[in-house]
Structures are given as structure tokens and as C-alpha cells.
Structure 1
Amino acid sequence: MEVIEITHPIKSSQFVEEDIALAIGFFDGIHIGHQEVLHKMKDVAKEKHLKKAVMTFDPHPSVVLNPEKKRTTYLTPISDKIDAIEKLNIDYCFVVNFSSTFADVTADEFINQYFIQNHVKAVIAGYDFSFGKYGKGNMTSLKENDYPFSVHVVSKQTLHQDHAKISTTDIRSCLELGDIESCNLALGRPYSIKGMIVQGEKRGRTIGFPTANVQPSDDYVLPRKGVYAVKLLIKSKNKMYDGVCNVGVKPTFHDPEAYQISIEVNIFDFEESIYGEKVEVYWYHFIRPEQKFDGIDSLVKQISKDKEEAKRLLSLENG
């Protein structure tokens, strides 16, 4: 897959010379709704004998358009998003820098420069996708005009009887509430965070529960502070391990207001040193909120219970 990074104004050297079918969107999380857009694009490309392309944006438009509620953490940071798109056997991935300059591009300018001049012969997006200054361009207006490309609109994708659409915003909310099951259902896979094992306080080993301290590799949305049943992939071994994970500030030992949030995984039946290893944490079940204990004994007793509960929950996942 060829990745083409674009900073507006787009240059002629960044145009694709082959006719393409283009799926367009922010695609944070690449959840089930996004997957439907991408699968539709692949179907259209096959039917019309076009190359397969995806256009996404970085950073999130809210950084420019809504600074009071700007989104700077992601379900899939840009590097993860590109990796996931590449696994779909896509030919081209355009990453457009969403800047103040780009935000001033009118809908007509966007259509002419990013679609027509770029050999786009089919545009595929969700029903609520908008583009151009003030979001004045949308999929309905694209369909109503006679452009030299076909327009394919993917309808609202839902999971529940309330017919609420699957959205990145709702998935983020689920993570913040600790509702991992709903998050994973909407994603169509377990939520995951990539990182590296770094030195921690080594306090866990002194109480019989050594942990691997995971330093996230990017600005991920962190789940609610608490204890989770997880799986940990050690990249160099290409092997997955079951574990119990604490996300939080360890209030039994630290001032919650002064200590940075950490991700620490107790890997079951594992005693190797893995400092410096690249890993990926897969989140399966929320067990309990983080809490402060009145002493080491009560903490150890609770961790033992958490570990057994994590083993029980993961045994169900493992079949």
C-alpha cells in the first residue's frame, strides 16, 4: 500500500495516476460501521475495475474546529489506523493534514481537487459524512449533482434495538465507563493498546504479583481506572498470554492527584524478563473500579480474587 501524506494545498505530484474507488472518513477505531464503508469500497472497486483507496485525516477535525472539546486521544492513532487499512489489501491511503488552511477549503474546491483531479471514479462514505468549509458538502449533495464519479452511501449501522448508530463517540464513552463488552461488540474485535514494557516501581513482585508496566506507544483512549481481564501479545514471541491488568494511579501507595496513570499487567504463569519488548494489550472484561485499601494484606487478598476472576472470564473467551 502506498501512503500519501497531503498538506493543503494538494500538489499535482500527490495525485494518483490510476482510476480509484475512494472510501473517505476519519475512521477512528475502524469499527463495524467503518468496516462496512471499506467493504463497500472494495466491492465497488472490483465491480468497476478500479484501484482501492482510502482517505483519512490527521489530527481529528475538532482540534481545529472545536478547541474546547478537541479530541487528542484515539481508539486507533494514525499509525495503527494505517496498519489496519493496509491489512485490507488497499492500494492507496491518503492522510490529509486537517489544518486551519484545509478547514477553509470549500466543498466545491474539495470535490475538484481531491476527487476529480485525483482520478476518483467512485466515492464511498457513511450517510453522515460531510466535507468542505462549514461542512457544507455532504453525501446527499454529491448524489444530486452530475459529477464524473459515482457516489455510494453506506446507511446507518446499528447493533441494538434502540437503533442508535455505531459511533466512535459512543465507543469512547463505553471505555470511559468500563463497558468493555459493548466497546468490543461495536469494534467487532477486542480493543487494544500497543506499547513497550518499561521499568516500574517493582512493588508488585514484593507482594507476590509481579507486573509488566506497559508504556503506550501513542495517544490512546485509556479505559476507566480499574482492574481488567486482558490478553498480552509479546511481539517478538508472537505469543499471547492471559493476565489481569490494573489501570490507574495505585491509590493505596500514591496521591491520586499527583501520580500519573499506569497500565500494569500481571501475566499468568510467566516469570521472564521482558523489559524493552513491544507488546499489545487486548481488553476483554472490566472486573472492578480502582480503590484504595487500608493495608497491604487487604490489597493482596483482593488481587488474588481479581486474578481468579480474570482467569475465569478468560477461560470463557478461550473456550
Structure 2
Amino acid sequence: MKVIEVTHPIQADQYITEPVAMAFGFFDGMHKGHAKVFETLQQKAEANNLKKAVMTFDPHPSVVLNPEKKRTDYLTPIDDKIEIMDEYGIDYCIVINFSSKFADVLAETFVEEYVLKNNVKQIIAGFDFTFGKFGKGNMMTLDQLEQCETTIVSKQEIESEKISTTEIRKALKEGNLQKANNELGYHYRIKGTVVQGEKRGRTIGFPTANIQPSGDYVLPKKGVYAVSMNIGASDKYYRGVANVGVKPTFHDPSKAQIVIEVNLFDFKEDIYGERVTVYWHHFLRPEVKFDGIDPLVEQMHKDKDQAKYLLAVDFGDDISYNI
């Protein structure tokens, strides 16, 4: 996949020169609603013998347009988004820097400079896609173009509720991991690097890997989770328990930073510096302050047992002996 990073105004050598079907959108999360857009893109490209292209934006438009409610953390930071697009078999990905200058581009200019000059023959986007200064351009605007055919992807729903990035973010922050993963269509994931921590876990029988996220991810609600994890380039999934929070048993919550710690089951390797991916399967409980180490350790054993059972179900293990 060729990635074209554009800062307005787009340069002559950045245009796509062969005919394409192009999907437009921010696509944070690459969730089931977005999957429908990419499925439609695939169909239109194959039917018309076109290459597949995507136009997306970075950072989120709210950084410029609504600074009081700006969105600076993401379900899929730009590198993750590009990686998933590559897995979809996209040929071209145009990433437009959403700056103040770009926000001032008129809808008519966007159509001319960013759509028509990019050799777009098929346009695919969600029903709520808007563009141009003050969001005056929309899918009906594009549908009037004679040079292109426009396909509007309707809203996708689960149990009569629209699948949306906003709802997934809300579910994660409320600890409703089941809903978030269901709407994503995969287990939420955070990539990062294993860094040095306080090393307190090893003194109480629960050594943990401290994960420094590699991007501006949406962090799940503070609490304890059943997770799996890849290490380096390996496709092996290690199972474990993760804690997201400030460790209030040991720290003043008002002063401590939120950290991600993962205790892998039956794992004793040194993995400092390794790049890892944490997959979030189940929310077990909120983070709480314990009256000392003993009740904390007792609860951690319970968390571990619960996580082992839930992950065994997820991975399709024979759990009949536990029932």
C-alpha cells in the first residue's frame, strides 16, 4: 500500500494517476460500520476494474474545529489505522493533515483538488460524511458529480443502536468491554513497549510487565481485565490479567499517573524493551484500594482464576473439567 501524507495545499506529485474507487472518512476504530464501507469499496473496485484508495485525516478535526471538546486519543492511532487498511488490501492511502488551513478549504475546492484530480471514479463513504469549510459539503453534494459514481453506506446497527466510534469510546470508559468489542468486530488492542516499573509485583508473586503505549490510545476504564498479549513479531498469544490505574493501595490517586501492568500466566521471561500488543477480552472489576497487601494478593488470585476461565472460553479450550 502506498501512503501519501498531504499537508494542504496538495502537491502535483501527490495525486493518484490511475483510476480509483475511494473511501472517505476518519475511520477511528476501524469498527463494523467502517468494515461495511471497506466491503463496499472492494465491491465497487472489482466491478469497475479500479484500484482501491482511502482518504483519511489526522489529527481528528475536533482539534481544530472544537478545541474545548477536542479528541486527542484514539481507538486506532494513525499507524494502527494504516496497518489495518493494508490488511484490507488497499492500494493507496491519502492521509491529510487536518490543519486550520485545510479546515478553510471550500467544499467546491475539496471536490476539485482532492477528489477529481485524484482520478476518483467511485466514491464510497458513510451517510454522515461531510467536508469543506463549515462542513457544507456532504454525500448529496458528491452524488451530483457527473465524473464519479457515489455510493452512500447507511448506518450500521447492533440491536437497533448505531455502531459508532463515540459509542465504542464511551463503552470502553464505562468498562463495557463486551459492547466495545462487539461493535469493533475484534478485541480492542493497545500496542506498546515493555518498560521498567516499580517491580513491586514480583515481591508478592505477581510479576508484571509495564506497558508504555506507543500511541495516543483510548485507555479503558480503570480496573482489572482478562487480556492476551503478543510479544515482538511472534503470533503466539500469552494470557494474563491487566490492571489499568494508579495502584491506590500504594499511591495517592490524585498524584499518581495511570499505568498499564500485565501479569502473564506461567511466564518468566525477561521482556524489557519488547514491543507488544495487548488484547482486551473481559472487564473483571474496578480498581479499588485495599487495606494492605494480604487482601490485595487474595483478590489478585481470584482475578487470575476468573481470567483463566474466561480466556479458556475465548480460546476454545476444553473447560468441561471445570464445570
Q: TM-score range by the shorter chain?
A: over 0.9
Aligned counterpart, 1:150: 149
Query: Which secondary structure does the structure 1 equivalent of 2:162 belong to?
Result: coil
Partner SS state of residue 158, structure 2? coil
**Which residue identity lines up with residue 284 of structure 1 in the other structure?**
H
Match of 1:297 in 2: 294
| Match in the other structure for 2:319 | none
Between the aligned partners of 2:70 and 2:273, the Cα distance in structure 1 is: 32
CA deviations 1:130-163 (Å, max 9, x no partner) are 11111111112222x2430100000110011xx2
Residue 318 of structure 1, CA deviation: 1.3
Aligned to 2:308: 311
Looking at structure 2, the residues matched to 306 and 216 of structure 1 have their Cα atoms a distance apart, in angstroms, of 23
- 1:61-84 alpha-carbon deviations (Å, 9 max, x no partner): 000000000000000000010011
Aligned to 2:103: 103
Q: Which residue of the other structure, out of 276, 279, 283, is the alignment partner of 2:273? A: 276
Partner of 1:202: 199
* 1:199, distance to aligned residue in structure 2 (A): 0.7
- Aligned-partner residue type, residue 219 of structure 2: L
Normalising by structure 2, what TM-score? 0.97
Write the distance in 1 (CA, Å) between the matches of 2:153 and 2:72: 27
The residue number in structure 1 matching 2:259 is 262
Task: Give per-residue Cα distances to partners, 1:99-128, cap 9 Å, x unaligned.
Answer: 000001111100011111111111100011
AA paired with 1:173? Answer: K
Q: 1:139 & 1:166 partners in 2: Cα distance?
A: 19
Does the Cα contact within 8 Å between 1:73 and 1:219 map onto a contact in 2?
yes
Other-structure match for 1:186: 183
Q: Secondary structure at the match of 1:117?
A: helix
Q: Is the aligned partner of 1:252 residue 2:221?
A: no
Per-residue CA distance 1:29-62 (angstroms, 9 max, x = gap): 0000001001101110110111100000000000
Residue identity in the other structure for 1:2? K
The one-letter code matched in structure 1 to 2:179 is S
| Structure 2 Cα separation of the partners of residues 181 and 107 of structure 1 | 39
For 1:39 and 1:236, the matched residues in 2 are separated by: 28
Matches of 2:117 and 2:211, distance apart in 1: 45
CA distance in structure 2 between the aligned counterparts of 1:83 and 1:318, rounded to whole angstroms: 24
Which ranges in structure 2 are unaligned for 5 or more consecutive residues? 317-323
Secondary structure of the 1:174 match is helix
Deviations 1:173-212 (A, max 9, x none): 0000011110000000000000011111000010111111
The question of 1:69 aligning with 2:66 is answered no
Pairwise CA distance, 1:12: 1.2
Amino acid at match of 2:198: E
SS at match of 1:300: helix
Q: Is the 8 A contact 1:236 1:277 kept in 2?
A: no
- Alpha-carbon distance in structure 2 between the residues aligned to 1:68 and 1:102: 19
Within 1, Cα distance between the matches of 2:233 and 2:87?
A: 20
SS of equivalent residue, structure 1 residue 239: coil
**Stretches of structure 1 lacking an aligned partner (at least 5 in a row):** none
* Partner-residue secondary structure (3-state), 2:298: helix
Shift of 1:239: 1.5
Equivalent position of 2:10 in the other structure: 10
> Hey, what's the Cα distance between the residues in 1 that align with 2:24 and 2:188?
23
CA separation in 1, counterparts of 2:233 and 2:41?
34
* Runs of 4+ in structure 1 over 3 Å off: none
CA distance in 2, matches of 1:205, 1:165: 44
Deviations 1:204-233, CA, capped at 9 Å, x for gaps: 010111111111001000000000000011
